[in-house]
Amino acid sequence: MTKAILLLVLCSAPACYAEAPTALAIRDARVVTVSGSTLDKATVVLRDGLIEAVGENIPIPGDAWIIDGAGLTVYPGLIDALSTWGIPEPPPAAPPAAPGQAPLSGPPPARGPEDRPSNTSWLRAADLVRPNNQRIADARNAGFTTAVSFPARGIFAGQGAVVNLGGERAGEMVVASPAGLYLRMASSGFGGGFPASSMGVIAYVRQIYLDAEHYRSARDVYAKTPSGMQRIHYDRALEGVLETPRVLLPVPRAIDIERMIRFSAELKTSTILYGGHEAYRSAGLLKDSAIPLLVSLKWPERSRDADPEEPVSLQELELREKAPSTPATLAKAGVPFAFYSDGIEKPRDVLKSVKRAIDAGLGAEAAVRAMTLAPAEFYGVADRLGSIGIGKIANLVVTRGNLFDDNTRVEYVFVDGVKFQPMAEAATAEEPASR
């Protein structure tokens, strides 16, 4: 009786639905490798968090646990290419002071770029991520195994990290860091100090990069011949700018695409653009630039709180209609692109947004690639993530049905080879449970 009670207590722990056998084989499943051909009846063998073997008619190790894959499809784990998953919500920022008044808290408003306003380029998502963040479990249940997470406040928001959505400790989650520097072109507004306008933000970013290049040169000269020279004062804001392998620039409108492509050439650093709802207007320009684009899955729509009597411009109506067709246009033009969730509250709704892009003309294979291998390539981790191949990290999602179909169910998710079985979502008032 005592053993039975102990077993019951142990099986109430997370370990009962997150299992890590030495080896595991998913047998006779349809396997979408993404980097190669799709295998209609194949086996995937996992061992010690890596993919040991994949193929048709391959032998299964004698020590492997076996999952019958008949009727199941195995995909690479999904990747959210620009996210805050795993990072706790920051406390709300103090509102800007009224004209002529002192700020409510914190330092006085910035007067120029030398004050480094809205610059926390040294912040690292790898240091902020928390494994017990509820959004991680929600995303994993929807089939996501990896997120490229970033701090999300200020203009120079901070350094992102490629993190796996599993592990008991934060250090176990980080796959690569830093992944990139996230820039938000958000001004302080009237009374908030420098920069107070969109033009001011562009000028500020440009100045920071000029300062960073001068700082790098002076630092290198001092490192070679420090005797007789004044030392260079450490500047963590510029250090963060210099250490990042790439920068992310926003392109919410078509006009921003041309502007940011030119701006990227000025910054002389590897660039990823994000936003892109109007990229259907600029596919040729994007193709010529060879700069990858992250497409927001938060399609434009009328706000639920909007006044139904308020007129809507033809431009806005056109954007709502054509934005979901942007990925199909990009794919046809050969533009490298991936998807990101852009703050969509429920991860399952992210997949519904991908389905809208498919309904608007995007091929299913291209949609899967935009959620797996494409973001892995953009962030330089395609040798570890994004496809199913020998030696890669064992991040998989196993479904009953095609990934983006409405009635498809996620049966298993593997993160670093650890098996998670998604729990059924609780019914809401809008979606009553079926009987």
pLDDT digits (tens, 9 = 90+) for 372-414: 999 999 999 999 999 999 999 999 999 999 999 989 999 999 9
pLDDT of 434 higher than 50: no
Instruction: State the Cα–Cα distance between residues 134 and 345, nearest whole angstrom.
Output: 12
Percent helix, strand, coil in the chain (nearest 5)?
30, 25, 45
For 78-303+311-386, CATH gives: 3.20.20.140
Q: What pLDDT was estimated at residue 17?
A: 46
* Cβ-based burial of 50 (10 A; exposed 0-12, middle 13-18, buried ≥19): middle
Instruction: State the Cα–Cα distance between residues 143 and 410, nearest whole angstrom.
Output: 7
Three-class SS of residue 404?
coil
pLDDT tens, position by position, 28-48: 999 999 999 999 999 999 999
Instruction: State the Cα–Cα distance between residues 183 and 209, nearest whole angstrom.
Output: 12
Helical axes 347-359 vs 326-333, angle rounded to 10°: 60
Q: What pLDDT was estimated at residue 133?
A: 87
pLDDT tens, position by position, 189-213: 555 667 878 888 999 999 999 999 9
Q: What pLDDT was estimated at residue 94?
A: 56
Q: What pLDDT was estimated at residue 89?
A: 81
Residues 160, 125: contact at Cβ < 8 Å?
Answer: yes
pLDDT tens, position by position, 127-159: 999 999 889 999 999 999 999 999 999 999 999
pLDDT tens, position by position, 270-314: 999 999 999 999 999 999 999 999 999 999 988 777 667 677 788
Domain map (residue ranges) of the chain: 13-77+387-425, 78-303+311-386
Q: Does domain 13-77+387-425 have CATH number 3.20.20.80?
A: no
In order of 181, 338, 369, 379, 403, the CA distances from 376 in angstroms are 16, 9, 10, 5, 19
Instruction: State the Cα–Cα distance between residues 337 and 370, nearest whole angstrom.
Output: 6
Residues 249, 260: contact at Cβ < 8 Å?
Answer: yes
pLDDT of 91 higher than 90: no
Residues 39, 58: contact at Cβ < 8 Å?
Answer: no
Residues 27, 54: contact at Cβ < 8 Å?
Answer: no
pLDDT tens, position by position, 224-271: 999 989 999 999 999 999 999 999 999 999 999 999 999 999 999 999
pTM as predicted: 0.88
